[in-house]
Amino acid sequence: MNTFEVKAFGTDAPTADLKEIQINRREITAKDIEIEILFCGVCHSDLHTARNDWGGTVYPAVPGHEIVGKITKVGKDVTKLKVGDFAAVGCLVDSCGECSSCKADLEQYCQNGFVGTYNGKDKHLHMQTFGGYSEKVVVDEHFVLKVPANLDLAATAPLLCAGITTWSPLRYWKVGPHSKVAVVGLGGLGHMAIKLAKGLGAEVSLFSRSPEKTQDALDLGADSVIISTDDHEMKVVNGKFDLIIDTVPYVHDLNPYISTLKHSGTLVLVGYLGPLEPILNTVPLVLGRKSISGSLIGGIAETQEMLDFCGEHNIVSEIEIINMQNINEAYERMLKSDVRYRFVIDMASLKG
């Protein structure tokens, strides 16, 4: 298959900084769309992959799965979009399309393994996929999304991961005007969970250990903030919530939050992957028919639904725009939670 070279920012090793490199993209097939990348959000998963925190990173690695850009070419069989349209690509660029999950528009749970936007396996080039820290990307039209015309393009980029990661559980657990939802953690995921849950009409609360985040949460739309280290405040909300979205990306104690669920309520993990510590007390789960669950991004149809909803309600992420050359500094700041609430790369800086 023919390929062409583009500039990108990537890393050759877990301990190496990201730097400018050249990568190959495939020439479009009949069903492909070529996109000039204008903005790319920066996700914790980018950092984890670049530094091989989860194992399995193939180098050179080019992160980035919150992509917004302009279509420059389309294959002869493409019907979804046209040259000149603004388009988006999230965490997925392919799946088997045949399993029960794919047929149910749940490509993120593809039973044969979805293809990630980066560090996946490109079936055309038989090598790893490269992400959005680059000039262009080529993606099958099924995995390309339409961007509502009224949304700010840069602030739309984080919707492709942080947005859909929190939207999917809100929709699955049927959150609406009579729902009481709590969010654990106010970061890239947490601030989107507040905005989207509020957009759906729910009463929304934030659990936080930091009282200084109270005003930020209220400004984002939260109705209340509960300081999770305050025993009195936790007792006040005992048995209150239908759904808790836990966005914390590291090991933490889930037990205090279980008591704040209503009977049949669910705490859904979207931020942390790994073993739970300390030991989980199952008594309130059994006595209250409560659940702990997990959720992974969303399928393509659901992601488009989320983007359309955000267009209707003018919901975007709170962002700080950076140049591509500042990505290593941004990673260090992200580890310190020194961003409100998502870095977005202006990809024009890569061309300079």
Model confidence over 118-160: pLDDT tens digits? 999 999 999 999 999 999 999 999 999 999 999 999 999 999 9
- Per-residue pLDDT of 178-207, as tens digits, reads 999 999 999 999 999 999 999 999 999 999
Q: Is the peptide bond before 60 cis (omega within 30 degrees of 0)?
A: yes
pTM of the model: 0.96
CATH of 163-294, one of 3.20.20.70, 2.160.20.10, 3.40.50.720, 3.40.50.1440: 3.40.50.720
Q: Report pLDDT digits (tens) over 274-327.
A: 888 889 999 999 999 999 999 999 999 999 999 999 999 999 999 999 999 999
Q: 3-161+298-304+316-351: what fold?
A: Quinone Oxidoreductase; Chain A, domain 1 (3.90.180)
Structural domain spans, the chain: 3-161+298-304+316-351, 163-294
Q: Which residues pair with 322 in a beta bridge?
A: 345
